[in-house]
Amino acid sequence: EDQVTQSPEALRLQEGESSSLNCSYTVSGLRGLFWYRQDPGKGPEFLFTLYSAGEEKEKERLKATLTKKESFLHITAPKPEDSATYLCAVQASYNQGGKLIFGQGTELSVKP
Amino acid sequence: NAGVTQTPKFRVLKTGQSMTLLCAQDMNHEYMYWYRQDPGMGLRLIHYSVGEGTTAKGEVPDGYNVSRLKKQNFLLGLESAAPSQTSVYFCASSYSASRPDTQYFGPGTRLTVL
For residue B100, the model assigns a pLDDT of 58
Whether B103 and A100 lie within 8 Å, measured CB to CB = yes
Instruction: Quote the minimal CA–CA distance from A42 to chain B in Å.
Output: 5
User: Distance between CA atoms of A105 and A79, rounded to whole angstroms?
Assistant: 19
Least confident of A1-15, A22-36, B27-41, B87-101: B87-101
Confidence band, pLDDT 50/70/90 cuts, at residue B104: very high
Q: Under 8 Å CB-to-CB from B12, ≥6 apart: which residues?
A: B111, B112, B113, B114
Average pLDDT over residues A22-37: 94
Average pLDDT over residues B84-111: 89
Going A71 to B61 to B75 to B7, the CA torsion angle's sign is negative
Confidence band, pLDDT 50/70/90 cuts, at residue B88: very high
Residues of chain A contacting residue B100, judged by C-beta atoms under 8 Å apart: 31-32, 49, 51, 91
For residue A36, the model assigns a pLDDT of 98
Average pLDDT over residues A15-26: 97
pLDDT over 70 (residue B99): no
User: Distance between CA atoms of B22 and A98, rounded to whole angstroms?
Assistant: 21
Contact B87/A at CB under 8 A: no
**Residue B100, preceding bond cis, omega within 30 degrees?**
no
Q: Which chain A residue shows the shortest CA-CA distance from B108?
A: A43
Q: What is the pLDDT of residues B45-64, one digit of tens each?
A: 999 999 999 999 999 999 99
Q: What is the pLDDT of residues A70-80, one digit of tens each?
A: 999 999 999 99
Average pLDDT over residues A4-31: 95
For residue B92, the model assigns a pLDDT of 97
Q: Residue B34: how many CB atoms within 10 A of its CB?
A: 27
Provide the percentage of residues in chain A whose pLDDT is more than 70.
97
Name the amino acid, one letter, at B89.
Y
Whether B44 and A102 lie within 8 Å, measured CB to CB = yes
Confidence band, pLDDT 50/70/90 cuts, at residue B98: low
Nearest of B37, B16, B18 to residue B106 by alpha carbon: B37
B83 secondary structure, DSSP code: G
Burial B35-64 (b: 16+ CB within 10 A, else e): bbbeeeebbbbbbbbbeeeebeebebbeeb
pLDDT over 80 (residue A37): yes
For residue A24, the model assigns a pLDDT of 98
Average pLDDT over residues B77-106: 90
For residue B89, the model assigns a pLDDT of 98
Residue B43: strand pairing partners = B37
pLDDT over 80 (residue B24): yes
